[in-house]
Amino acid sequence: MKFEDYKEWVMSRVNTENAKLCETFVNEKEPVGHNTRLALAAMGLAGETGEVVDLLKKVLFHGKPLDVALRDKLILEMGDVLWYYALLAYLIDVPLEEIMRRNVVKLMERDGKGGEKFHTART
C-alpha cells in the first residue's frame, strides 16, 4: 500500500465513523476550528507513540522478552501512530512522500552527504 492511499483510507474511515468526535474532527462545517483538529491529531500521535514507548520500556527495563506476542502489539501500536501521522499530514495538506523526501534532504545535509538529487522534487 502506498502512503497516499493509506492517507486517503484514513480520511475515508474518519469520515464514516459514527462517533460525533470524528465527524466534528474532519467536517469543516462544524464549529470545531482547524487548530482544534491539529491539536487532536498531535495529541493522538503523542499518545500512541507513548504506547509504543511503554511496550519497549517493558522490554528494556522490566525484562519482558521481545517475543512474537509483544512484536504483534508493537506493530498494532505503530499502526495507530501511522494513522495519526497520516491524519496530521492530511490536515496540513502535505503528501506523505513529501515529508519523507524532505527528511532525507535534511539528514543528508546534516551528515554532509548532499541530498541534491532529492531537491529536484517539490520543496
Q: At 75, is the secondary structure helix, strand, or coil?
A: helix
CA dihedral defined by 71, 51, 82, 30, rounded to 10 degrees? 150
In this prediction the pTM is: 0.74
Q: Region 73-80: what's the mean pLDDT?
A: 96
HEC letters along 89-119: HHHCCCCHHHHHHHHHHHHHHHCCCCCHHHH
List pLDDT tens digits, range 11-68.
777 654 444 555 555 555 455 567 777 888 899 999 999 999 999 999 999 999 999 9
Closest CA to 87 of 29, 13, 24, 18: 13
